[in-house]
Amino acid sequence: MPDIAKTERRIVGFLCNWCSYGGADTAGVARANQPTDLRIIRVPCSGRVNPLFVVRALLHGADGVLVSGCHPRDCHYSTGNFYARRRLELLKHFLPILGIDPARFAYTWVSASEGQRWQHVVTRFTEEIHALEPAPHFEELEPLYLSQRQSTEPKRPFMPQPPDLLAKLKEEIRTHLPELDCVLGWQKGRDALHAVPFFLRQEEDLERLSLDATCHNSLVRYLPEYKGKKVGIIVRGCESRALVELLQEGLIAREDLHIFAIPCHGLLDVARLEEELGRYQHLENLVIEQDSLRITVDGKERSFSPQAFLRSTCLGCASDEPVLADTCLGSFTAGESTPVTAPELALLDGLNLTERLRFWRGVMDRCIRCYSCRNSCPMCVCHDHCIAESRQPHWQSAEHSVTEKFFFQIIHALHLAGRCTGCGECQTNCPVGIPIFALRAHLNRVIAELFSGYQAGRDAQAVPPLLSYMVDEANIQEREWQ
């Protein structure tokens, strides 16, 4: 942004064409005194304001952003502002985890005849922005490096898969394979520590099927590509929720699926184990037991505690019961589903706003924009049309800047708001270990607070909260502008 007079701040206003823009005009015609800091962008409706517009402005130097539309029930398109209210309220709760002061953002309603109200709102908001420090320049902040692990006890102790589970699973798949085009499972990858997705098509493939605590890739991610085909899939409790979410969004059809549900007592964080092992040439043996994890690399056996290497997303898991299943194998644990705070999020919760922004400044520098987080996410379904790579509209540049990398993660997180089932695949597959799951975990927490405990993937008939609205929102307190 260009330099402006020192007495002014950079404030961006998104005003709906039919009401608030008219209100600002009415104030102007009436010669009402107003601060000159606001730069107005006229939009057809407040429902047109993507929360990403606001974040992008704030990340690129705006000191404040104001969104204003028609009063509820007065929207020219009848419901645009009801949807906007949910999104913008969510955004207000999201900004602090990024390290951005939520006081830099406000939304309100002003009608075309309310010139006086417009004058009041814009004056109050500008005064508040002046009372804050000028917005920090993200790129110029000193990075804050912190250890990302915290010791959190798992809700359920780790246990390896029962020895007969794989044999039972193979038997079931053998029975159903003739009526299916393909069954999605896992096989060993380059060594015993690295499992990879496996697409079984014939009985001989069953020999290669693998099943242990290293099989972490969410197979649900591949389902939309098989739309219209009969597919079998092996899922654990958390993965069945992603499956429900895809059903909710109409991306797969229930009648085309055969779901083999298996119990789960925790998955291993392979990336952290690799880090601990350091460089090695050959991994010769891997033994997973309840209390010990023995790995032989280059002729040397190393022993670890599996509890200490559980994936952070498994720590708060209280139940492995699948939401949907056609064939259930083994016994499942039912449990109360109150989520625990993921360690990455607990770390951020303990920081102030400036420290959070400095933390993101430090970790985002490592991002190589490989898009593994997006490509492994079962809910990222836009594939070739991802706005991160789109040139029309051109949402973000391919420039190697920490702001653009951070913005990409914000795009991903906000696109998952109300849809993320918390599988943590994004973070597990990040080759440089950025704790991006914290952004999703925080949004899930806010969604539950704002929308009566809503959790994605629990009910295939439920309408996702950002695709619906209530005329009188129970948990949204709109600002009064006294």
User: Rule CB under 6 A: which residues touch ligand FES?
Assistant: 16, 18-19, 45-47, 69-70, 75-77, 80-81
Least CB distance from residue 479 to ligand FES, whole Å? 16
Nearer to ligand FES, 138 or 469 (CB): 469
**What value, to the nearest 5°, has the Cα angle with vertex 223 and ends 222 and 226?**
100
Q: How many residues does the chain have?
A: 482
Least CB distance from residue 107 to ligand FES, whole Å? 11
Q: How far is CA 407 from CA 1, 11, 230, 247, in A?
A: 17, 20, 38, 29
Least CB distance from residue 83 to ligand FES, whole Å? 9
Nearer to ligand FES, 60 or 76 (CB): 76
Instruction: Quote the CA–CA distance of 210 and 173 in Å, as a whole number.
Output: 13
Instruction: Quote the CA–CA distance of 301 and 393 in Å, as a whole number.
Output: 54
Nearer to ligand FES, 89 or 425 (CB): 89
Nearer to ligand FES, 15 or 244 (CB): 15
Least CB distance from residue 97 to ligand FES, whole Å? 27
Nearer to ligand FES, 82 or 138 (CB): 82
For β-strands 300-304 and 293-297, DSSP reports them as antiparallel
Least CB distance from residue 69 to ligand FES, whole Å? 3
Instruction: Quote the CA–CA distance of 392 and 312 in Å, as a whole number.
Output: 37
Least CB distance from residue 64 to ligand FES, whole Å? 20
For β-strands 257-261 and 231-235, DSSP reports them as parallel
CB under 8 Å to 370, separation ≥6 — which residues?
Answer: 431
CB under 8 Å to 277, separation ≥6 — which residues?
Answer: 295, 297, 302
Please name every residue paired with 184 in a beta bridge, in sequence order, or none if there are none.
199, 233
Least CB distance from residue 110 to ligand FES, whole Å? 10
Instruction: Quote the CA–CA distance of 63 and 135 in Å, as a whole number.
Output: 5
Least CB distance from residue 43 to ligand FES, whole Å? 9
Exposure b/e, 380-402, CB count within 10 A at least 16 = b? bbeeeebebeeeeeebbeeeeeb
Least CB distance from residue 88 to ligand FES, whole Å? 11
Nearer to ligand FES, 115 or 422 (CB): 115
3-class SS of residue 441:
helix
Q: Are 428 and 271 in contact (CB under 8 A)?
A: yes
Nearer to ligand FES, 22 or 306 (CB): 22
Q: How many beta carbons lie within 10 A of that of residue 132, not counting itself?
A: 13
Nearer to ligand FES, 64 or 80 (CB): 80
Nearer to ligand FES, 74 or 205 (CB): 74
